[in-house]
Structure 1
């Protein structure tokens, strides 16, 4: 299945870019009804639905949702059709937009109406009333710019630590990270967890896993994967990397290390994930870069 068209992806207003990744419009149809796994990543997830609410197992139905950092998959039920706008957001975005810390959202999915019912209603109504993707993106810009606080920052050391973890793609040793920010490992871990809800070591693992997951999904395309060989079926001549090559590129010791982390974060193997979740093979929205 194809990726979103170019007109369905747009950067947010410049003032919002330190906190938000691209606005990614999606309109998925023609896949079997089932359960889509929302896998851990280095970004919180903000979704404004179009039409039907998003239904998350064990969390409820949402018109506008904000999902925090998490270390286990979330399960989203769908009837084969889903539409909306998804935005990957920095862990520091909740402070700037909603006066929350990322730690207050860790392992949780909340409806924005629980934070501000008027704001959630306005976002949902304006996005659903818009006639084009560009109008929908402009509506999100307008609403979020109005509530943006330009002086809601975490401790500089925490922000710097997060940026270094993302820029190193999760490969910077925590001891080195602590030295760079001028704190002990214990103090860094405590302050980092208080702000983000997970420790720096967990954050590095998630960033590394997310990169591997996106490589696997991006390489899948319309082909299946042979789990025993660990290579995309029909790859031929190195067209797609093996899982062992993905593991090496993402900083894992070997493929078994990747498999263990995939099982821990996704509850399944890479190939079983692609086979069981047709939405997964569509790939993901662009990674939120370190700002």
Structure 2
């Protein structure tokens, strides 16, 4: 379905993971879009456009941004034909700096990149990507584009960057009460600031990170009972309920027709940390 290319060297922008996709054809791509604990930039590299169809029937084409956790429920679809594009996974901790809006404003939504960055800036990047001679050149272009944005844009509170990194490093196997206690914050304070600046309540963020780790392992062929035990679910039934809630399908079929199966790339294993 897809030819997948990753950068040859580690990324230079903390909180960003890049992957290149090329549609192999001959039939058009049509598969389920599952949620991830990231915001995703989809940057097209030519004339053909990537498409995302929402469960509401709304259709989006071209370079896009999907909000944190977009695709929950399994009703969103990715559609494409003869497309080359770069997937930019953005940690919610740097999304505001890069995109110019809070992740909370993009929660579970799709927005055209032209609407966020303006037509001129988005068109310039699209044209440069189309002219680039290789995937490595494209990756370098994107990193060069994102670096000054991430360095100069508005930052979240360092305590929240630390809390997010703890959730990611623990594959979602952390307690929100424990995070609040380590910060010396009340649970209410952590919930309010986390939701406002990162886009989800902390408990939902924990669930989404844990799901990403579990789904990637399921897509890699590991059995559901082992995944449930290793990923911190109470039992296999608990894993089953959360996978169905996030994807609309059972753990046994989560790998079918999803970018999880194609890329075999867990965000929680790849993202550079933001805090020390």
SS of aligned partner of 2:76: strand
Match of 1:35 in 2: 30
**Residue in 2 aligned with 1:56?**
52
Aligned runs of 1:1-291 on 2, under 5 Å?
A: 4-5=4-5, 10-12=9-11, 14=12, 17-21=13-17, 23-30=18-25, 32-33=27-28, 35-51=30-46, 52-58=48-54, 59-70=58-69, 72=72, 73=74, 75-79=76-80, 81-115=82-116, 116-150=118-152, 152-219=154-221, 241-275=222-256, 277=257, 280-285=260-265, 287=267, 288-291=271-274
Contact 1:217 1:283 in 2 (8 A): no
How far residue 3 of structure 1 moved from its aligned partner, in angstroms, is 6.6
Shift of 1:89: 0.9
User: How far off its partner does 1:260 sit?
Assistant: 0.2
CA distance 1:32–1:45, change in 2 (3 Å): same
The Cα of 1:60 is off from its aligned counterpart by 2.8
Q: 1:146 to 1:164 in 2, by over 3 A?
A: closer
**Structure 2 CA distance for aligned equivalents of residues 62 and 103 of structure 1:** 22
TM-score (structure 1 length as normaliser)? 0.82
- Deviation by residue 1:101-146 (Cα, 9 ceiling, x = unmatched): 1111111111110012112111111101112112212221232234
Instruction: Give 1:152 deviation, angstroms.
Output: 2.1
Alignment RMSD, CA only?
Answer: 2.4
1:92 aligns to what SS in structure 2?
helix
> In the alignment, which residue of structure 2 is the partner of 1:224?
none
Q: TM-score, normalised by structure 2?
A: 0.86
Q: Provide the aligned length of Structure 1 versus Structure 2.
A: 264
| Greater Cα offset, 253-262 or 79-88 | 79-88
1:279 offset after TM fit, Å? 5.2
Q: What SS does the corresponding residue of 1:274 show, helix, strand or coil?
A: coil
Quick one: structure 1 residues 31 and 218, their matched pair in 2 at CA, closer, same or farther if it must change by over 3 Å? farther
Query: Residue 171 and residue 64 in structure 1: after superposition, are their counterparts in 2 closer, same or farther (change >3 A)?
Result: same
CA contact (8 A) 2:35 2:246 kept: yes
1:43, 1:91 within 8 Å by CA — same for their partners in 2? yes
- Work out the CA distance in 2 between the residues paired with 1:160 and 1:40: 23
Mark the structure with the bigger radius of gyration. Answer: 1
Alpha-carbon offset, residue 157 of structure 1: 2.0
CA distance in 2, matches of 1:44, 1:74: 18
**Closer/same/farther in 2, CA of residues 90 and 77 from structure 1, 3 Å limit:** closer
Greater relative CO (CA pairs within 8 A, separation 6+): 2
Listed as ranges, the gaps of 5+ residues in structure 2 are none
Q: 1:246 to 1:80 in 2, by over 3 A?
A: farther
Contact 1:69–1:105 at 8 Å: present in 2 too? yes
Deviation per residue, 1:41-79 (Å, 9 max, x gap): 221111111332111113433322111112614623425
